[in-house]
Amino acid sequence: MGPEIKVLLQKISRLPGLGPRSARRIVLHLLKHKNELFEPLMMCFSDVFNNVKVCPRCHNVDTFIDCCSICADRSRSRDIICIVENVADLWAIERTACFRGQYHVLNGLLSSVEGRGPEALFLDQLLERCQENDAKEIIIALSVTVEGQMTDHYIKNFFSDKNMKVSSLAHGIPMGGELDYLDEGTLSTAFFARN
């Protein structure tokens, strides 16, 4: 096969969740449907590539003109802001359709290993935004990992004297979770947080 195809296969096989076999399947599928699939896909790629930006308000990564579709959506409440680690988590919450406020995307957690200190969370900018919009509530929706919980704690502390209501997502037994299969940490957390 030609060098161009080899390089493309290599690049695709390194994408998350893919390997050499799936890369071959995808490339052959695209080559087979060159006009119906390959060309439109390339156009979509360049549309996204050329238009994607980081929203100056919430740091969401999106294609937009002034600010991302969530910040621009007038039907969404500006009183309540949900803090998420990254865009994947934002999309996950959007899929639940249970939150109609705004977001603040950290694009990374506090991490001494990666050298991300508190300034990387842009909490001053968030506070300013809260004051501008008279927002009164913050929901922290971070992963339950050491770094996630450390960041959660730091944010709570930061807002403690700012006259805001700050809450975190509940920890406990997931839907469909069977007690017998849960780890001890989750089970004991659920026990102490019983309501």
* Residues found near a copy of itself in the complex (CB under 8 A): 1-5, 7-8, 11-12, 15-18, 22, 24-32, 34, 37-42, 44-49, 51-52, 61-64, 68-69, 86-88, 91, 94
Q: Which is nearer to a copy of itself, 47 or 114 (CB)?
A: 47
Pick 60 or 151: Cβ nearer a copy of itself? 60
Q: Closest CB to a copy of itself among 25 and 165?
A: 25
Rg (CA), the chain: 21
> Which of 30, 39, 17, 137 has its CA nearest to residue 88?
17
| Residue in 103, 106, 92, 107 with CA at minimum distance from that of residue 130 | 103
Cβ proximity of 154 and 138 under 8 Å:
no
Please report how many Cα atoms fall inside a 13 Å half-sphere around the Cα of residue 103, on the Cβ side: 31
Amino acid at 154: Y
The answer to whether 73 touches 58, Cβ cutoff 8 Å, is no
Closer CB to a copy of itself, 20 or 117, in the complex: 20
Contact 141, 83 (CB under 8 A): yes
Distance, CA of 157 to CA of 154 (rounded, Å): 5
Tell me how far, at minimum, the Cβ of 87 lies from a copy of itself, in Å.
6
CB of 85 to a copy of itself, least distance (A): 12
**For a copy of itself, which is the closer residue by CB, 98 or 170?**
98
Smallest distance, a copy of itself to C-beta of residue 104, A: 17
Q: How far is the CB of 183 from a copy of itself (least distance, A)?
A: 23
Closest approach, Cβ 17 to a copy of itself, in A, equals 5
